[in-house]
Amino acid sequence: MKPRLDADVEITAVSAPELAEWFAEQATADMALLLAHADDGVIWGQVTGGKLTLAGDVIPEVEVPLRPATLQQARLFGPGGELLLWRDNGKFRVRRIEDGAETPNNALPLEAYWLWGTQVIRSAGGFKLLEEGAQGLRHAPPIPGLADGQRAALLVRHYLAHDAEGRAWISASRLCGLRSVDAEKR
């Protein structure tokens, strides 16, 4: 029986193929990008045609396997929402935020956070291999149309809540997408 990852489940009960299949099943047209952090590196992916493709599948130099045993957290995201899966005391936990096309009243304007990578080394399968600095830091996000003089940026939305005394605080944050931004504008 395939484990249900939308409820707390023991990490050891999930195989790597089941994890990839689960992300592919959860994806929608407006929530199909994957950013995962594992013990052994960063994993970018995207779901197209019902299949999860990882950056390492098409750009081998950034290959980090998507394995339950090493996964710390993963976000399946896009303009419509975010599904966050994280490790908690030997179990996977899940949080889902879905906005759809409307911006909620308690949402702040989107913020663009620059990603590492000032130079595009090459493109393959919808991913861009980016390199930063003399250290040669590399990763391959699924970002289209990154031109010279631009940087990749992660779009983040923060949500406000108010306490009993009316003080505002950020109650949640989620990833909303990737886009190219002019490197001169910060």
Structure tokens belonging to residue 110: 């989107």
Structure tokens belonging to residue 76: 């399946």
pLDDT digits (tens, 9 = 90+) for 146-176: 887 789 999 999 999 999 999 998 999 999 9
- Residue 168 has a pLDDT of 92
Share of the chain above pLDDT 90, in %: 67
Higher pLDDT, 2 or 118: 118
- The 3-state DSSP class for residue 78 equals strand
Higher pLDDT, 13 or 179: 179
For residue 1, name the pLDDT band (cuts at 50, 70, 90).
very low
> Minimal CA–CA distance to 71: which of 93, 39, 95?
39
Spatial distance between the Cα atoms of 32 and 25, rounded to a whole number of angstroms: 10
pLDDT at 56 over 50: yes
Spatial distance between the Cα atoms of 89 and 108, rounded to a whole number of angstroms: 32
Bridge partners for 52 per DSSP? 47
- CA angle, 39 as apex, 33 and 44 as ends, to 5°? 15
pLDDT digits (tens, 9 = 90+) for 26-47: 999 999 999 999 999 999 999 9
- Residue 3 has a pLDDT of 60
Share of the chain above pLDDT 70, in %: 94
- Residue 44 has a pLDDT of 98
pLDDT digits (tens, 9 = 90+) for 100-124: 777 888 889 999 999 988 888 999 9
For residue 144, name the pLDDT band (cuts at 50, 70, 90).
confident
Spatial distance between the Cα atoms of 161 and 180, rounded to a whole number of angstroms: 30
